[in-house]
Amino acid sequence: MALDTQTLNSLGFAKSPADTRVVVAMSGGVDSSVVAAMLAEEGYDVVGVTLQLYDHGAALAKKGACCAGIDIHDARRVAEQMGFPHYVLDYENIFKDAVIDEFAESYLGGATPVPCIRCNERVKFKDLLETAKDLDADCMATGHYIQRMNGAEGPELHSAADANRDQSYFLFSTTPEQLSYLRFPLGHLKSKAETRELAAKYGLSVADKPDSQDICFVPDGNYASVIEKLRPGAAEPGEIVHADGRKLGTHKGVIHYTIGQRRGLGIGGLDEPLYVVKLDVDAKQVVVGPKEMLATRKIPVREINWLGDEAFTSRDEWHLKVKVRSTRPPRDAIIRPISETEAEVELLTPEEGVSPGQACVFYAPEGSRIFGGGWIWRGY
């Protein structure tokens, strides 16, 4: 017999908030702090957990990072203020093995990795989620801007109400099993200003704290310097060549370049603007060409996480929208399954700068539902 929905609390459980334990993943930022404070004020049995993900010695005073020293302090202070227990877990080794090492290898392979997705997939929504279950929590809540809605076949993943804050691109690999356990209390808010207003309402010291911007373990966005530390000798010099075979100059290492890059190539004085169109790691070559060479229509995708109600391979084609970079809007596409975890994606309008290592996320043609996504493994 179906439960009367009026008996459910705000997290969807048929019991009082006081009898509902929720682990809140607290990064030390304003978003997760507001989630923890909100749930504590509603009377839930809140347990705050913060992960120390990397050696934070160099990041203590760095703006735009997360999960480092000052953030741990901020999370602990919110917990003390709101009166719930808070734990710090040392996940440095797990984070290095699951995220940082792959980031380095992918970058050395000429890809453009997105480590924040791997962190959610392999650390926060895997190991931390299991820790939440070990703590006998009914669910785990985060400060992500995304929505979880109940559908006919179970929980569905939907974009945030605020398109400017939507984090669906970074959460496409959330599995149905994880989704049943997760809660995202901020996904319905119309703007970040509302979040900060709530932080002020609860009197949180982080109310005006700046948002994190960079990848947490990449100071100042300088990927190459991090790779050189992780993989000494990786920045070997080589040739910059035109797609037609002409040698145009030399470079200090493939890791200093990304697909679609135009500035900083050091090959000025040419008649046409040139862009990086390919990174040939084996030949140590940076291949450049005209802008039209960046246009891609067909994209091979693998490691697909499918969130549709029907089996992914139940159709020959799925007519959906896809997003190939976090900053770009979804575009119309045809997705042709090859297996349960592989597909060819055909863009109806070619995209520029599609790069291996980026995610390709699937969206409903209309509405806000996310149908999962996968990883681009060749850009051409």
Looking at residue 98, the DSSP 8-state letter turns out to be I
Please give the Cα distance from 225 to 45 (Å, whole number): 43
Helices (H), 11-134: 30-41, 69-82, 92-95, 101-108, 115-119, 129-134
Instruction: Give the span between the Cα atoms of 63 and 71, in whole angstroms.
Output: 10
Which amino acid is located at 350 in the chain?
A: P
27 is in an annotated binding site: yes
Q: Which of 116, 139, 216, 360 is catalytic?
A: 216
CB 195 within 8 A of CB 186: yes
Q: Is 286 known to sit in a ligand binding site?
A: no
Rounded CA separation 354/294 (Å): 7
* Max CA distance (Å), the chain: 75
- Listed in sequence order, the residues at least 6 apart from 263 whose beta carbon sits closer than 8 Å to its beta carbon are none
The catalytically annotated residue of 66, 67, 116, 119 is 119
216 labelled catalytic: yes
Q: Please give the distance of CA 49 from its chain centroid, rounded to a whole number.
A: 19
Annotated binding residue 32: yes
CA-CA distances (angstroms) from residue 231 to 20, 255, 301, 349?
46, 11, 27, 38
Could you confirm whether 119 is annotated as catalytic? yes
Q: CA-CA distance, 128 to 131, in Å (whole number)?
A: 5
Q: Does the annotation flag 143 for ligand binding? A: yes
* 3-state class (DSSP) for residue 104: helix
Residue 140 annotated as lining a ligand binding site? no
Query: Is 51 one of the annotated binding-site residues?
Result: yes
Q: Known binder of ligand: residue 31?
A: yes
| Residue 29 annotated as part of some ligand binding site | yes
Q: Are 3 and 15 contacting, i.e. CB atoms less than 8 angstroms apart?
A: no
Burial of residue 109 (CB within 10 Å: 0-12, 13-18, 19+) is: middle
- Please, are residues 120 and 174 in contact by the beta-carbon 8 Å criterion? yes
> Does 30 carry a binding-site annotation?
yes
**What secondary structure does DSSP assign to 9-23, as a single string?**
-TTS-SS-GGG-EEE
Is 199 flagged in the annotation as binding? no
CB-based burial, 156-173: b 16+ in 10 Å, e otherwise:
bbbbbbbeebbbbbbbbb
DSSP state of 126: I
Binding site residues for ATP, as ranges? Answer: 25-32, 51, 143
User: Catalytic residues, which ones?
Assistant: 119, 216
Binding site residues, as ranges? Answer: 25-32, 51, 143
